[in-house]
Structure 1
Amino acid sequence: MKKTLIILTVLLLSVLTAACSSSAGHQNSEENKAAVTHDLGKTNVPEHPKRVVVLELGFIDTLLDLGITPVGVADDNKAKQLINKDVLKKIDGYTSIGTRSQPSMEKIASLKPDLIIADTTRHKKIYDQLKNIAPTIALNNLNADYQDTIDASLTIAKAVGKEKEMEKKLTAHEEKVNETKRKISANSQSVLLIGNTNDTIMARDENFFTSRLLTQVGYQYAISTSDNKKTGNGGDSVNMKMTLEQLLKTDPDVIILMTGKTDDIDAYGKRPIEKNVLWKKLKAVKNGHVYHVDRQVWSLRRSVDGANAILDELQNDMTAENK
């Protein structure tokens, strides 16, 4: 009887110990996760994730700033065309997980990520599939404006446990914005960003990332979101289709032409549109205030480092002395 009682007591203690251990383990597991609020909800992210997959290009820079190289990137299978060459060197060895619009779930899962960073607009419909693979946060980048990009950087920093590092980066960036504003003396001149001009003029409206950055350094943006909505001519949330006649009516003080490999450009670096009589009537053309820039930097690199690269170009090429 006494022996049986001892055995039962030992078994009971074993069960209690296991239960306590399990409870403590669960508690520690929860304590080692960060609850991150993002555009599609709240996600518990493991402490200091190392294997991170990004589904939009602008998130790459942010991770690099925080000392993390993504293991997987949605690069549309044309990395050299879309990703800045210096950034590409830093992420050498990553795995392409397909296109940004339709990333491969199989490839993502094969990388065994502990964090996926998705774009709110592009990946809303597949968010549930993504979070079944790994903890997933969704942030605005495709249609992000400047403030969206700053906010996303802070959210990513929280997710990887490096908020202080990002705050330091943003303080330095703010100083660079103020420095650029002093140097270029924009004085509320109107400015317009133009991308493709092959078949029609595709301009960015005021809500685009780079458009907002330009207003931060003292420019007035030439077209508004309401202008874009009024046209109803096939543009999207940040792009506005324009004719040359509409562009001449807007007539900005400064035009920034974002050039990529898909643009029709002759041996002299000119686009067909630049030979048009109406183009030559534009104020910016007459005054020599048309600037050719790289679309990789000015449109696709939507990040703090991307903004800094733009600020460097503004300081080098668009100061008061160079106008």
Structure 2
Amino acid sequence: MTPRTTPAFRLPRRRALAAAAVGVAAVLTLSSCSAEAKNSGGDSGKGSGAKTRTVTDIAGKVEVPAEPRRIVSVDFYSPAALVDLGIKPIGVVEGFDDPDPNLRPKKYHDALGKTATVGTYYELNIEAVAKQDPDMIFAETRFLRKGELERLQGIAPVVQLDASGVGAWEDRTLMIAAAVGKADEGKRQQTVFRKRAAELKTEYADVLTKNKIAVFGYGQDQSTWGTYPAGHFYVPSWDAVGARFRSFTEGEHKGEPGTVSQWLSLEQIGKLSNADILIHSYGAGDFVTSLSKNTVWKNLPAVKNGLVFENIPAAVVSSFEWGTESLNQLDTLLARIDAKAGK
């Protein structure tokens, strides 16, 4: 995936992590209560007499093929969920050919690295989408530019996705499973994920309940920093195990749930004093090392207590099996934190 030059829309990379200022879609409530599909018995879609189903997405009801065979994903998230369900989309956004372990687990790179691309999730190539002749399209509409949704709908039925808030990504994943007629399998994978999360929540209850964490990254030129709150797409694994996040301080956050803090200058790094444990973004070790000459940084409680750790790679969970893999990695990290914090 090629990142934007604007920090507000970059997903975590190995050498830098700039946060997406993710707006909360009010229509999300429409999707959280129902992701089930039902037979409509209609005759529409690709091909004469093709059977269809009606599914619920964030915008309401949409009629899709009963057995979609040519799916194009113009969002970052649905390709991984589809792979988990045994489905390979015929078109995806750029980046799946990149083996960077901080982008996604190797499983998804291997499955989709040679799949046709249709631009980026924030800068689509509509013509490339049409060229694939899809019978279904998945799109996260908050990233579409003006008029693109209508153009996509002129090509094939579009299932509109979004997720913000603690655990909301699970609703999105179940919606994807329902849209392709695999709701039961999606629920099964969710059960596995939640069981693993519950195990870690119990095993590390002491360190998780007694400490507040701050998961932080830096801006494009390493002259600014920001933290990720509960519900942000960079911390779903931490949310799943019940981590307690530090509170934002005055002037640090705009107030939108699930969005990154304001990007602050290094002179304000002292705001992290209300965190017992600091988790820096994966691959940001050089940035943390550069802070070693910053007196305020050195006097932060977490720094003085040696409780600064690197986050797990590929933290932007896009599916339940991805999430379960992330929890297994988090298990190792929590064991290290527990051993250190318990001294």
TM-score range, shorter chain: 0.7 to 0.9
| 2:223 is the alignment partner of 1:199 | yes
Identify the residue that residue 51 of structure 1 maps to in structure 2: 70
| 2:94 is the alignment partner of 1:75 | yes
Match of 1:258 among 271, 281, 286: 281
Identify the residue that residue 184 of structure 1 maps to in structure 2: 204
Shift of 1:68: 0.6
1:152-191 to 2 correspondence within 5 Å? Answer: 152-185=172-205, 186-191=208-213
| 2:295 is the alignment partner of 1:277 | yes
Match of 2:137 among 90, 95, 116: 116
| 2:108 is the alignment partner of 1:95 | no
CA gap of 1:145–1:90, structure 2 versus 1, over 3 A, is farther
**Greater Cα offset, 272-281 or 57-66:** 272-281
Encode CA deviations 1:282-313: one digit per residue, 9 max, x unaligned. 22222222111355x113x3332333233212
Q: Distance in 1 between matches of 2:189 and 2:99?
A: 27
Q: Would you say the 8 A contact 2:312–2:326 is kept in 1? A: no
Q: Structure 2: which amino acid aligns with 1:97? A: V
Question: What are the ranges of 5 or more consecutive residues in structure 1 without an aligned counterpart?
Answer: 1-25
Question: What are the ranges of 5 or more consecutive residues in structure 2 without an aligned counterpart?
Answer: 1-39, 45-49
CA gap of 1:192–1:306, structure 2 versus 1, over 3 A, is farther
Q: Structure 1: which amino acid aligns with 2:311? A: V
Identify the residue that residue 289 of structure 1 maps to in structure 2: 307
Q: Would you say the 8 A contact 2:41–2:52 is kept in 1? A: no
| 2:153 is the alignment partner of 1:131 | yes
Q: Would you say the 8 A contact 1:38–1:137 is kept in 2? A: yes
Identify the residue that residue 310 of structure 1 maps to in structure 2: 326
Identify the residue that residue 35 of structure 2 maps to in structure 1: none
CA gap of 1:56–1:284, structure 2 versus 1, over 3 A, is farther
Encode CA deviations 1:34-63: one digit per residue, 9 max, x unaligned. 212212332111012122111222222211
Q: Structure 1: which amino acid aligns with 2:43? A: S
Q: Would you say the 8 A contact 1:145–1:212 is kept in 2? A: no
Shift of 1:249: 3.0
Match of 2:244 among 220, 226, 229: 220
CA gap of 1:246–1:213, structure 2 versus 1, over 3 A, is farther
Encode CA deviations 1:200-237: one digit per residue, 9 max, x unaligned. 0022133303445424423211135995116x9xxx94
Shift of 1:243: 3.5
Q: Structure 2: which amino acid aligns with 1:120? A: T
Q: Would you say the 8 A contact 1:191–1:222 is kept in 2? A: yes
Q: Would you say the 8 A contact 1:203–1:242 is kept in 2? A: no
CA gap of 1:322–1:29, structure 2 versus 1, over 3 A, is farther
CA gap of 1:156–1:195, structure 2 versus 1, over 3 A, is same
Q: Would you say the 8 A contact 2:312–2:330 is kept in 1? A: no
Q: Structure 2: which amino acid aligns with 1:43? A: V
Encode CA deviations 1:90-137: one digit per residue, 9 max, x unaligned. 223211111111111111111111111111310263211111111111
Of all paired residues, the percent bearing the same amino acid is 26
**Greater Cα offset, 276-285 or 169-178:** 276-285
Q: Would you say the 8 A contact 2:71–2:134 is kept in 1? A: yes
**Greater Cα offset, 165-174 or 186-195:** 186-195
| RMSD of Structure 2 on Structure 1 (CA) | 2.9
CA gap of 1:127–1:287, structure 2 versus 1, over 3 A, is same
Q: Distance in 2 between matches of 1:106 and 1:170?
A: 35
TM-score (ref. length: structure 1) = 0.78
Q: Structure 2: which amino acid aligns with 1:123? A: L
Q: Distance in 1 between matches of 2:281 and 2:54?
A: 39
Q: Distance in 1 between matches of 2:96 and 2:185?
A: 31
Q: Distance in 2 between matches of 1:259 and 1:179?
A: 24
> Looking at both structures, which has the greater relative contact order when contacts are Cα pairs under 8 Å and sequence separation is at least 6?
2
CA gap of 1:69–1:224, structure 2 versus 1, over 3 A, is farther
Between the two proteins, the alignment pairs up a number of residues equal to 285
Q: Would you say the 8 A contact 1:188–1:218 is kept in 2? A: no
- Which structure is higher in helix share? 1
Q: Structure 1: which amino acid aligns with 2:228? A: R
Q: Distance in 1 between matches of 2:149 and 2:276?
A: 43
Q: Distance in 1 between matches of 2:74 and 2:178?
A: 18
